[in-house]
Amino acid sequence: MEKRTLGSTDIEISPIIMGTWQAGKRMWVGIEDSETIKAIRAGFEAGITTVDTAEVYGTGHSEQIVAQALSDVRSQVVYATKVFANHLKYDQVIEACDRSLENLKTDYIDLYQIHWPSGTWNSEIVPIAETMSALNNLKQAGKIRAIGVSNFSKAQLEEASQYGRIDSLQPPYSLFWRKIEPSLTNYCLEHKISILAYSPLAQGLLTGKFKRGHQFVEGDHRVANKLFNGENYERAQRALEKLQPIADHYQTTLGNLALAWLIFTSETRPQVHAIAGARNADQSVQNAKAAELKLSESDWSKIDEIGRSVTDFLDDAPIMWDF
């Protein structure tokens, strides 16, 4: 899999990134550690050399699972993890980083990200200057190699950038969820900030496996996902029906077509990487194949237009879930 450069760093990351929210188990059902480890390892062997996790995913459990899967090939992979919104004071950031280093069984983190802005999820408001001071010092000490932010607005990204170099933005971004367009995408293009898109398959909706009338089991957080409810869900089903012939033309799946649309590169688009989770090894291998799919400009535009038949009708709220 051809690598890309993260922001303005010398860190090489894969266009498809292994997502490991599910590895933490909390808010997911039917997740087995042994299968997750196999999935992460299979992804690595298929060329997915970058893995994204967070301290809040199962209170460190996801990070520990990543270490079990990849510690023996640590020098060949890129670790990206995140500090949560309730740990953004100077000392808390340092302590959280040390915990993540221990969980990941490594002495450095390639990309360390602020998971959510200060004040979100009922967290205490901490000046971004204080948080960035801690991150800059961690970078200077060699504990982290690059700084990123997640779920930041343009204004928040601009403010954070006043106190240090930001090399990545991690937002929810997919063919069916495009809240960062165009303000954030243009800003990232201008300032050479890589976008690491989470929920690039709209939590599985873009795979086409969820049909009309699907019911999630109790405990699955997708029950609260706006895309899986009401008229939004019906519009998504109609869009998927229009996307299927394009996927058939490329002899690929709906999911990989959506990933290929997202990571498509052009002079007018910022560098976008897709964070795709997997429950098993087969899903990891399938996700990796999306990087091999080369869309034509015209087909990319057709897919783009079909996606807008869903996104143009969404409300203005930036969060995908009604928690």
* Residue-wise DSSP of 189-235: HHTT-EEEEBSTTTTTGGGT-S-TT--PPTT-GGGGBGGGSHHHHHH
Q: Please report the pLDDT score of residue 27 as a whole number.
A: 63
Residues annotated as catalytic are: 57
What domains, with CATH codes, occur in the chain?
A: 4-204+253-294 (3.20.20.100)
Q: Are 17 and 1 in contact (CB under 8 A)?
A: no
pLDDT in tens, 109-154: 999 999 999 999 999 999 999 999 999 999 999 999 999 999 999 9
Burial class (CB in 10 A: 0-12, 13-18, 19+), 160: buried
**pTM listed for this prediction:** 0.94
Structure confidence at residue 174 (pLDDT): 97
**Rg of the Cα atoms in the chain:** 19
- State percent of the chain over pLDDT 90: 85
Q: What is the pLDDT of residue 54?
A: 97
Q: CB atoms < 10 A from the CB of 231, how many?
A: 8
Q: How far apart are CA 229 and CA 199, in angstroms?
A: 17
Is the bond into 182 cis (omega within 30 degrees of 0)?
A: yes
Distance, in Å, from the CA atom of 26 to the CA atom of 183, rounded to the nearest integer, reads 33
Beta-carbon contacts of 230 under 8 Å, excluding residues fewer than 6 positions away, are: none
CA-to-CA distance for 90 and 152, rounded, in angstroms?
19
